[in-house]
Structure 1
Amino acid sequence: MADTAAASGVRIAVAESLTSGAIATALGSAPQASRWFVGGVVAYSEHVKFDVLGVEPGPVITAACAEQMAEGVARLLDAEVVAAVTGAGGPGPEEGRPAGTVFLAHGRRGALTVEHLRFVGEPAEVVQATVEAAVRALHDDLAAGRPR
């Protein structure tokens, strides 16, 4: 993904709840990250989602929350391409959603795709699968030329 991101000339940012910064860590450790990765917001707490990212108060394990997190981090960090995740990592359900439920918003600012994913496993496995899905989605968005 690093070569694709560097060649794209766009700024990439992330907003994370469930993954607590793991996506930012994966992106920031990639080659030439300083050329394309502007940063991220770890919005584990609801008040960070609401007050910092501009998410409408309400349930936070929803497609709408993921989309609003993505738009909020794009605006906050002036990024063209973003990914945002929220979900129930487990081990039990949250907000009536089963463990492993993830909402991933990604794409170009103002033209996002939101995916409803379901992963099986322990919380650490759900987090790792979510990181992999987010990085893959960003790569696919860049490779498909969506950001331009």
Structure 2
Amino acid sequence: MSSPATELVRLLTVRGQTLAVAESLTGGLVAAEITAVPGASKVLRGSVTAYATELKHQLLAVDAALLARHGAVDPQVAAQMAAGVRTALGADWGIATTGVAGPDPQDGRPVGTVYVAVDGPPGAHSGSAGGGKVEALRLNGSRAEIRMESVRSVLALLLKELAGEQTGNERAQDTERNGGF
């Protein structure tokens, strides 16, 4: 069975669509996972690792008032990161990760609080009128385990969105059976 990153590259290549990645707690791991796949250059436009909170506003157009009110670990921040990177890098799809990998809480959020988000072309989101999707995660484990599970989760979220566009597709059914989100 192919990896989630391999399947993403395959699906996006077949569709002629592109992807942009915005990362915080994963620090480039999502982009590294995708670029490890041969042919990724056909679909990956680029990535922005906005680790510092102010960079989320400066580079990804996340609302400064939202960041001031809620901090960087927030579902709306994740959604705006995905939309912002999609726009900034001119991609069809944007995905984002933000959260607390530890060892200490951040912005009043406990270690293991993670938000992953996807933003795509208008009308592309299964079960929504657009505006993207955000998934809240409560993860356990070491810092490294939380970061790797965040990578897996954001790739699974995008796979679910792509599969939602292909109703009746055998791959979509496999994704659901194997615990895709």
TM-score, structure 2 normalization? 0.76
Q: Deviations over 1:46-83 (max 9, x none)?
A: 12101111112221100111111111101100111111
| Counterparts of 2:27 and 2:121, CA distance in 1 | 22
Asked whether the 8 Å contact 1:15–1:85 carries over to 2, the reply is: yes
Structure 2, unpaired ranges of 5+: 1-6, 123-129, 167-181
Q: Which residue of 1 aligns with 2:14?
A: 7
Asked whether the 8 Å contact 2:86–2:119 carries over to 1, the reply is: no
Alignment of 1:59-74 (within 5 A): 59-74=71-86
TM-score, structure 1 normalization? 0.93
Q: Which residue of 1 aligns with 2:120?
A: 108
Query: Quick check: which has more Rg, 1 or 2?
Result: 2
Question: How far does residue 109 in structure 1 lie from its aligned partner after superposition?
Answer: 4.5
Q: Structure 1 or 2: larger helix share?
A: 2
Q: Which residue of 2 aligns with 1:19?
A: 26
Q: Which residue of 2 aligns with 1:50?
A: 57
Residues paired across the two proteins, number: 146
Q: Which residue of 2 aligns with 1:133?
A: 153
SS at match of 2:60: coil
Q: Structure 1 or 2: larger strand share?
A: 1
Asked whether the 8 Å contact 1:79–1:109 carries over to 2, the reply is: no
Deviates more, 1:36-45 or 1:108-117: 108-117
Q: Which protein, 1 or 2, shows the higher relative CO under an 8 Å CA cutoff with sep ≥ 6?
A: 1
Q: Which residue of 1 aligns with 2:138?
A: 118
Asked whether the 8 Å contact 2:83–2:119 carries over to 1, the reply is: no
Question: How far does residue 140 in structure 1 lie from its aligned partner after superposition?
Answer: 2.1
**Post-superposition, which runs of at least 4 consecutive aligned residues in structure 1 deviate over 2 A?**
none
Change (3 A) 1:109 1:43: farther
SS at match of 1:44: coil
Question: How far does residue 113 in structure 1 lie from its aligned partner after superposition?
Answer: 0.4
| Counterparts of 2:53 and 2:10, CA distance in 1 | 34
| Counterparts of 2:91 and 2:103, CA distance in 1 | 33
Asked whether the 8 Å contact 2:79–2:119 carries over to 1, the reply is: no
Give me the identity figure in percent. Answer: 36
Q: Which residue of 1 aligns with 2:104?
A: 92
Structure 1, unpaired ranges of 5+: none
SS at match of 1:60: coil
Question: How far does residue 102 in structure 1 lie from its aligned partner after superposition?
Answer: 0.4
